[in-house]
Structure 1
Amino acid sequence: MRISSPNEAFAVARHVRVSPYKARQVIQGLRGMTVEAAQRRLEFMDKGAARPVLKTLNSAIANAENNKDLDFDDLVVLEAKVDEGPTLKRFQPRAMGRAYRIRKRTSHITITVGLPAAERARVGATAADADTAAEES
């Protein structure tokens, strides 16, 4: 199980019926973008894998807002990766009694959103200042 810091949230979509190669083409440019720009880019992308990636991104954003109390306007895509899931193996009949293997590949899509590094340092400093002020009083 993956544990995230208080400044980031993630979402995982497992067993998505899209080839990892095709999904990686979609997430290639998302890293480092603001979540609003990433959503806009995925909405208008002309690839079939963009829809499950967008759903995973929206889930990560919802996790950040509801579970970590992070502001939507401050969020960026910290990490976006696609791992290979199990492959469904099917056969198609061919000429002279032969069979042709069909591999239906699946993907595990993981997207992590959070505060950018500069924002993290500011939030961390604010929390540290609050802790020292509480200790002094």
Structure 2
Amino acid sequence: MLIKAEQKFARTSPRKLRHVADSVRGVGSPQQVLDYLAQTPQRAGVVLAKVVKQALGNAKNNFGLNEEGLKIKEMVIGEGPTYKRGQPVSKGRFHPIMKRTSHIRIIIESEDKPKSDVKQKVVKQTKKEGAVIRKPASAAGRKTVGK
């Protein structure tokens, strides 16, 4: 089973995030990755740790899985939009400043099966006698006359 977590428009450049992501890519369990990222001095480590925690939370709350059976399958750092700013300099010139953003996607793989009672809702529809079902005006069958 695959559990996905994403953060879009992270205000860190993809190059800096990839540098940290490459160092933790083969570690394995998400808890070991979090321990490693806590010791990393780069600011990108904090951003990646948030997404790993989000993926762990998705596994626990949405699928009822334990942390022991999980492993990081994929860490993808993509480029987001670039915000273009500038610095005015002498002689009326303007030096561009590119504020780059990133999209982060982490996929966690589990070999456990999810608990069956988690996140399964049964919707029952009951029809009352004499109840009138009203349709919206657009679906009522109005005809338009072309001129």
Q: TM-score, normalised by structure 1?
A: 0.77
**Any idea what SS the aligned residue of 1:12 has?**
strand
Structure 2: give runs of 5+ residues left out of the alignment: 114-147
Quote the sequence identity (%): 34
Letter in 2 for 1:64: A
Aligned twin of 1:20: 14
Aligned twin of 1:43: 38
Residue-by-residue CA offset, 1:98-129 (whole Å, 9 max, x unaligned): 000000000001111122xxxx3xx57xxxxx
Aligned length: 112
Query: What is the distance in 1 between the residues matched to 2:109 and 2:64?
Result: 11
Q: TM-score, normalised by structure 2?
A: 0.72
More helix, by proportion: 1
Query: What is the distance in 1 between the residues matched to 2:97 and 2:23?
Result: 30
1:64 aligns with 2:65: no
Find the structure with the greater CA-based Rg: 2
Runs of 4+ in 1 over 2 A off after TM superposition: 29-32
Residue-by-residue CA offset, 1:71-118 (whole Å, 9 max, x unaligned): 111111111010000000001001111000000000001111122xxx
Q: How does 1:1-137 map to 2 (within 5 A)?
A: 7-32=1-26, 33-115=28-110, 120=111
Structure 1: give runs of 5+ residues left out of the alignment: 1-6, 125-137
